[in-house]
Amino acid sequence: MREPLRLGIAGLGTVGAGVLILLEEQQELLRQRCGRDLRVTAVSSRNRNKNRGVALPSNVIWCDDARDLAKSSEVDVVIELIGGAEGVARQLVESALDAGKHVVTANKALLALHGSQLAARAEKADRALCYEAAVGGGIPVIKAIREGLAANRFERVYGILNGTCNYILTKMEDTGADFETVLSEAQDLGYAEADPSFDVDGIDTAHKLSILASLAYGAHVDMSAVYIEGIRHVGAMDIQFAREFGYRIKLLGLARRTAHGIEQRVHPCMTPLGSPISEVGGVTNAVVTVGNYAGQSVFEGPGAGAGPTASAVIADIVDIARNQILPPFAAPSSQLEHARASPMELHQGAYYLRLTVLDQPGVMAGITAIMAEHGVSIDSIIQRGRAPGAGVPVVLITHDTEEARMNQVLTRLKGLKQVVETPVRIRIEKV
């Protein structure tokens, strides 16, 4: 049997503790599958005395500064579980690669903002930079795209990449409650942070999407190219109307190559009832790939949590133990494309539009005239209630049109004195 692979773990929070537990409980299985022992030799965390539910090995080296793991002669692989795109996490990963150590990370923000540079650094050092746990928790989607589907050109890659948002939207549908009520409940249950903006405003999903798009399309990671829109404006009324029209609202990250470049967008979507992505509820994540040979593949599972995320971290460590070292983004970094970003204004699709208008004669005529003027045709319309002098909802579904046209329509509609609330626009995805 070969020499043990020596691991240094930076960050002993939920995932770090999960990695320790998994290594301990699955020790014999992993030895059989790797042909060598996986041994934790060094760790770093802010609190030495915290009860993490698992004992550290008796001879482990404790580093008060995580960056010291990169310098340690007792570490072959640095496992970065600190988080954050800058500061200690970035410095640790860079210095570890420069010191000739392999790196495993669950840090999607770091990869979304610096992935291309780090990939080049890893390849120069002939070391692995692995990140299965950064997207989709326990779902092995990185390996699926990079390896299992390597023979395919991808027509589309999309998915539910944030469990917090999916939980909120699922609960809104199940209970009829509004966004703020369900968000508060999610915070009480620990599904949402005290400051939920990273999740509900779409940033977390955008980080993950930019990584998937790079893998799928052989391009440099470009977080700045992602159009981002969160779920704060989705109301209980929109959830209800969606079902009437045969849809369910999901926050999706979507990527595809177009004639204008690579389109990357994150926003709430109306998804057809019965489609695989619309049936994914609660905190579950799912990724759908559409390859030109494999067709549609659906990957679904827990997107977070100690066990699933630790499983993904260990999967990367096993690859390193087997000496399976691949370019981080499928192609060598020197061959990655500096792809154009497809402008969101050129996106084509159908739209759901909810207006709150004064119940007065001629209002609908004014709305339809504006839409006709900008070349946007209406497929379906619902007008509810009679409340003279008060606001009532009017809901429209459009035929396929260009985003730029819809933006023009929205600007005009906001200017109508009979429109008493900001219009709600949700894109329809025929997934």
Written as tens digits, the pLDDT of the chain (431 aa) is 689 999 999 999 889 999 999 999 999 999 999 989 999 999 998 877 776 677 787 788 999 899 999 999 999 999 999 999 999 999 999 999 999 999 999 999 999 999 999 999 999 999 999 999 999 989 999 999 999 999 999 999 999 999 999 999 999 999 999 999 999 999 988 888 889 999 999 999 999 999 999 999 999 999 999 999 999 999 999 999 999 999 999 999 999 999 999 999 999 999 999 999 999 999 999 999 999 999 999 999 998 888 999 999 999 999 999 999 999 999 999 999 999 999 999 999 999 999 999 888 888 888 999 999 999 999 999 887 666 666 889 999 999 999 999 999 999 999 888 888 899 999 999 88
CA distance 242 to 265: 21
Long-range Cβ contact pairs of 360-365 (< 8 A, separation 24 or more): 360/388, 360/389, 360/418, 363/394, 363/418, 364/394
- Residue-level pLDDT at 385: 64
CA distance 13 to 307: 12
DSSP code per residue over 172-219: HHHH---HHHHHHHHHHHTSS-SSTHHHHTSHHHHHHHHHHHHHHHTB
Q: What's the fold here for domain 5-134? A: Rossmann fold (3.40.50)
- Residue-level pLDDT at 388: 61
Q: What's the fold here for domain 141-302+334-344? A: Dihydrodipicolinate Reductase; domain 2 (3.30.360)
Which residue of the set 101, 171, 208, 250 is catalytic?
208
β-pair partners for 288: 158, 298
Q: 3-class DSSP state for residue 31?
A: helix
Which residues, at least 6 apart from 144, have a Cβ–Cβ distance to it below 8 Å?
A: 289, 297, 299
Dihedral sign for Cα atoms in the order 106, 110, 116, 121: negative
User: What residues does each domain of the chain span?
Assistant: 5-134, 141-302+334-344, 348-428
Question: Token pair for residue 396?
Answer: 């429209």
- Residue-level pLDDT at 361: 81
Active site residue 101: no
Question: Token pair for residue 76?
Answer: 């072959």
- Residue-level pLDDT at 50: 76
Do domains 141-302+334-344 and 348-428 share one topology? The answer is no
Find the distance separating the first CA and the last CA of the chain, reported in whole Å. Answer: 49
Cβ-contact 327, 333 below 8 angstroms: yes
CA distance 131 to 315: 10
Among 172, 168, 152, 151, residue whose Cα is nearest residue 160: 168
Among 282, 95, 264, residue whose Cα is nearest residue 173: 282
DSSP code per residue over 296-364: EEEEEEE-SSHHHHHHHHHHHHHHHHTT----TTSS-GGG-B-PPBPPGGG-EEEEEEEEEEEB-TTHH
- Residue-level pLDDT at 118: 96
- Residue-level pLDDT at 193: 87
Give the C-alpha distances (Å, rounded to integers) separating 304 from 1, 18, 155, 171, 312.
34, 12, 27, 18, 10
Which CATH number is associated with domain 348-428?
A: 3.30.70.260
Cβ-contact 395, 238 below 8 angstroms: no
Q: Where are the alpha helices (DSSP H) in 348-431?
A: 363-373, 403-414
φ/ψ of residue 375, rounded to 5? 75, 25
